[in-house]
Chains A and B, each alone.
Chain A
Amino acid sequence: MVENRRYRNILAYLVLAVGVVIVAFPVYLAILASTFDAATIINGNMPLVPGDQAAINYSRTLFVGASRTSREPVGLMMMNSFIMAMGIAVGKIFISVLSAYAVVYFRFPFRKTAFWVIFITLMLPVEVRIYPTYKIVADLGLLDTYTGLILPLIASATGTLLFRQFFMTIPDELLEASKIDGAGPFRFFKDTLIPLSITTIAALFVIQFIYGWNQYLWPLLITTKSSMQTIVIGIKKMITTQDALTEWQIAMTTAVLAMLPPVLVVVFMQRLFVKGLVETEK
């Protein structure tokens, strides 16, 4: 039995290792490519150990950008992407916490209807409602603005639903104790509901930040100025060239830079996330 188990363990680790290599190798390749000059990459004999061009590549990418195609420094694109992702994540959390609070804790006419209307929007992701949304954003003069990038993506039901489910698990006695302790609706929200929701907020933030950062279709549609383009669009533009060589070293550096913020958000928020999970008790 012991022999058997050891054999199985080895097999399991082998399978895992293969999986990790499959997932990680392209990422490693991107990092590698960001340390060579264009010639080394293009001649097809790129070594598997990092080269010495990293400093040049990264500084050129961040502050100058690809010379022929996207023509904007990637630093600016990252800034655009960051504003958009943050705007979506924060805006969505703000709106969904408030709407879930209203739906769960207040008795108002058509409460059920309001909830179902919110719920139904789950069936309408950006891609489905893209024409009317574009029309509205364009009519409001929000093309090529951060507001235009952020606002339409905030409106969706996932967050509201998540918070609603969470609020429903909070015992009524907590609300009643707050009432007796003289806390009005706003105080209860601020002093009890929000502190208890931290983990949910963290989870939603991670999901929404990455969702916002990775947006492609919507920014592609509504931004025309190159100074407004996001990093995801920037990469695409760098790679597709008409009559010139793709600057692979810049594209790869951009790809690595594009991966960085979501990774950081996950790493940083995960700590809060786990801490919250361990601490939560109602």
Chain B
Amino acid sequence: MAGVTLDTVKKVYAGNVEAVKGVSLGIDDGSFCVLVGPSGCGKSTLLRMIAGLETISGGAVKIGNRVVNEVEPSDRDIAMVFQNYALYPHMSVYDNMAYGLKNRGTPKPEIEKRVKEAARILAIEPFLDRKPRQLSGGQRQRVAMGRAIVRKPQVFLFDEPLSNLDAKLRVQMRVEIKRLQRALGVTSIYVTHDQVEAMTLSDKLVVMSGGQIEQVGTPAEVYRRPETRFVATFIGSPPMNILPGKVEGPGRVSIGDQMITVTDMKDGLTPGSAIEVGLRPEDVQAGTAGASTLTMDVDFVEELGATQLFHGKVAGAAFVVQASTGQIPADASHLALSIDPANVHLFDPQTTKRLGRI
């Protein structure tokens, strides 16, 4: 077992395009780290550099205590699960899983033992003689994971492994991946653009954008205390509302002509300066007045079953509120929103960084 350490890792493509701009990150042994971000943020490139499928333009990648920059992928002691599974179409499930071990010169009985073991864990024993094309998407996914497991690697790398599955299967496989990782205790790095996957799977969540890390933390930390406006709007569904506001004094911010109080606010902000106010749709209490209150003009309502989403405007800016179904009449044209001062996030309009207490 081994952790993974990235030290100012860079990827520069031909034409001086920086895909990854000096990323430093430590991933503890046995933990599950998820890299999440929009497409083109460099998360896959980073993963492929750890795998050895892309050359490293700068910095160092360490697996355990060994710098692996110049090490072949097969010698890095990693296993990778690809988005399209990348199973060998002409080989049986058994051969797919055994191939890596065979190339390594593992003795036959050992290969058989390991493949059988992996097949048992993943419940694919009945399919060992089949070809990949005779399997369903979920089963192929299991085979791809089996191929990773039999190697007993130091690190598992997952490159959006669930994107090709339908929604129901995705949830099921997500749970299984988590359970498997717990059971095997192997350090895992998982790339996804799906924030639900990211939140549910990770011990350590890394939010990336534009080739850089925006924030690293536990899913709860990242959700509760986003460090930048990007993270605030990227993590959480529906995304956080951002309203233009103005600093009125310590712990006091105005939005249009409405005033709210804030717990987590940086000291010494100049009164009158512009500020961005972030409010999560689920953190706002609709229909009741509280310590600080905003009023919202409702445009329309989206039904989600258990909850409803009210779309409208607060002080001219788009705003979404989530409320339990039946809590508010669906034909309401104005809503009073009660704001908990502890749930207000403030961001600098220029740097987009959080303006909270350190």
**Binary interface encoding of chain B residues 110-135 relative to chain A, with 1 for a CB under 8 A from any of its CBs, else 0:** 00000000000000000000011100
Query: Which among B72, B75, B78, B90 is the interface contact of A195 at CB below 8 angstroms?
Result: B90
Chain A neighbourhood of B328, CB < 8 A: none
Interface pair B90/A181, CB less than 8 Å apart: no
**Binary interface encoding of chain B residues 63-82 relative to chain A, with 1 for a CB under 8 A from any of its CBs, else 0:** 00000000011110011101
Indicate if A3 sits at the interface (CB-CB under 8 A).
no
* Chain A minimum-CB-distance residue to B98: A181
Interface pair A176/B100, CB less than 8 Å apart: no
Tell me, rounded to whole Å, the shortest Cβ–Cβ distance linking B118 to chain A: 14
Query: Which among B75, B78, B80 is the interface contact of A177 at CB below 8 angstroms?
Result: B80
Chain A neighbourhood of B75, CB < 8 A: 182
Chain A neighbourhood of B147, CB < 8 A: 177, 181
- Distance between Cα atoms of A183 and B101 in the complex (Å): 10
- Distance between Cα atoms of A176 and B83 in the complex (Å): 12
Interface pair B103/A196, CB less than 8 Å apart: no
Indicate if A282 sits at the interface (CB-CB under 8 A).
yes
- Distance between Cα atoms of A282 and B89 in the complex (Å): 6
- Distance between Cα atoms of A171 and B51 in the complex (Å): 18
Indicate if A135 sits at the interface (CB-CB under 8 A).
no
Interface pair B74/A191, CB less than 8 Å apart: no
Chain A neighbourhood of B87, CB < 8 A: 177
**Binary interface encoding of chain A residues 163-186 relative to chain B, with 1 for a CB under 8 A from any of its CBs, else 0:** 000000001011011011111000
Instruction: Please indicate which of the listed interface residues B75, B84, B88 has the most CB atoms of chain A within 10 Å of its own CB.
Output: B88
Interface pair A174/B74, CB less than 8 Å apart: no
Tell me, rounded to whole Å, the shortest Cβ–Cβ distance linking B69 to chain A: 16
* Chain B minimum-CB-distance residue to A194: B90
Chain B neighbourhood of A187, CB < 8 A: 103
- Distance between Cα atoms of A173 and B48 in the complex (Å): 11
Interface pair A171/B86, CB less than 8 Å apart: yes
**Binary interface encoding of chain A residues 123-141 relative to chain B, with 1 for a CB under 8 A from any of its CBs, else 0:** 0000000000000000000
- Distance between Cα atoms of A176 and B99 in the complex (Å): 14
Indicate if A281 sits at the interface (CB-CB under 8 A).
yes
Interface pair A281/B133, CB less than 8 Å apart: yes
Which A residues from 95 to 134 make CB contacts under 8 A with B? none
**Binary interface encoding of chain A residues 264-282 relative to chain B, with 1 for a CB under 8 A from any of its CBs, else 0:** 0000000000000001111
Interface pair A180/B84, CB less than 8 Å apart: no
Interface size for A (C-beta < 8 A) is 19
Interface pair A180/B88, CB less than 8 Å apart: no
* Chain A minimum-CB-distance residue to B51: A180
Tell me, rounded to whole Å, the shortest Cβ–Cβ distance linking A134 to chain B: 43
Which B residues from 19 to 76 make CB contacts under 8 A with A? 51-53, 72-75
* Chain A minimum-CB-distance residue to B100: A181
Interface pair B84/A173, CB less than 8 Å apart: yes
- Distance between Cα atoms of A282 and B75 in the complex (Å): 27
Q: A182-B74, A187-B103, A281-B133 are in contact. Are A177 and B86 (CB under 8 A)?
A: yes
- Distance between Cα atoms of A184 and B106 in the complex (Å): 17
Chain A neighbourhood of B72, CB < 8 A: 179
Which A residues from 132 to 159 make CB contacts under 8 A with B? none
Interface pair A180/B78, CB less than 8 Å apart: yes
Query: Which among A180, A183, A279 is the interface contact of B79 at CB below 8 angstroms?
Result: A180
Indicate if B104 sits at the interface (CB-CB under 8 A).
yes
Interface pair B88/A179, CB less than 8 Å apart: no
- Distance between Cα atoms of A177 and B78 in the complex (Å): 11
Tell me, rounded to whole Å, the shortest Cβ–Cβ distance linking A201 to chain B: 13
Interface pair B103/A192, CB less than 8 Å apart: no
- Distance between Cα atoms of A282 and B103 in the complex (Å): 22
Interface pair B89/A196, CB less than 8 Å apart: yes
Tell me, rounded to whole Å, the shortest Cβ–Cβ distance linking A273 to chain B: 16
* Chain A minimum-CB-distance residue to B53: A176
Chain A neighbourhood of B89, CB < 8 A: 196, 280-282
- Distance between Cα atoms of A150 and B88 in the complex (Å): 36
Tell me, rounded to whole Å, the shortest Cβ–Cβ distance linking A271 to chain B: 18
- Distance between Cα atoms of A191 and B83 in the complex (Å): 22
Tell me, rounded to whole Å, the shortest Cβ–Cβ distance linking B176 to chain A: 21
Chain B neighbourhood of A195, CB < 8 A: 90-91
Query: Which among A171, A181, A280 is the interface contact of B84 at CB below 8 angstroms?
Result: A171
* Chain A minimum-CB-distance residue to B81: A177
Interface pair B90/A176, CB less than 8 Å apart: no
Chain B neighbourhood of A282, CB < 8 A: 89
- Distance between Cα atoms of A167 and B274 in the complex (Å): 57
- Distance between Cα atoms of A187 and B52 in the complex (Å): 18
Chain B neighbourhood of A281, CB < 8 A: 89, 132-133
- Distance between Cα atoms of A83 and B53 in the complex (Å): 45
- Distance between Cα atoms of A187 and B99 in the complex (Å): 11
- Distance between Cα atoms of A191 and B88 in the complex (Å): 9
Interface pair A183/B53, CB less than 8 Å apart: no
Query: Which among B53, B99, B131 is the interface contact of A181 at CB below 8 angstroms?
Result: B99
Tell me, rounded to whole Å, the shortest Cβ–Cβ distance linking B339 to chain A: 48
Interface pair A180/B74, CB less than 8 Å apart: yes
Instruction: Please indicate which of the listed interface residues A173, A180, A279, A280 has the most CB atoms of chain B within 10 Å of its own CB.
Output: A180
Q: A187-B103, A191-B99 are in contact. Are A179 and B86 (CB under 8 A)?
A: no
Chain A neighbourhood of B132, CB < 8 A: 281
CB-defined A-B contacts under 8 Å, sample of 15: A174-B88, A176-B82, A177-B88, A179-B52, A180-B74, A180-B78, A180-B80, A181-B99, A182-B103, A182-B104, A183-B103, A187-B103, A192-B88, A195-B90, A281-B132
Give the A-binding residues of B (Cβ under 8 A). Answer: 51-53, 72-75, 78-80, 82-84, 86-91, 99-100, 103-104, 131-133, 147
When A and B form their complex, which 6 residue pairs have the shortest distance between CB atoms, in order from nearest? Answer: A182-B74, A173-B86, A181-B100, A182-B103, A177-B86, A195-B90
Given A180-B74, A181-B99: 14 more A-B contacts, CB < 8 Å: A173-B82, A173-B84, A176-B86, A177-B147, A180-B53, A181-B74, A182-B75, A182-B103, A191-B88, A191-B99, A192-B88, A192-B90, A196-B90, A282-B89
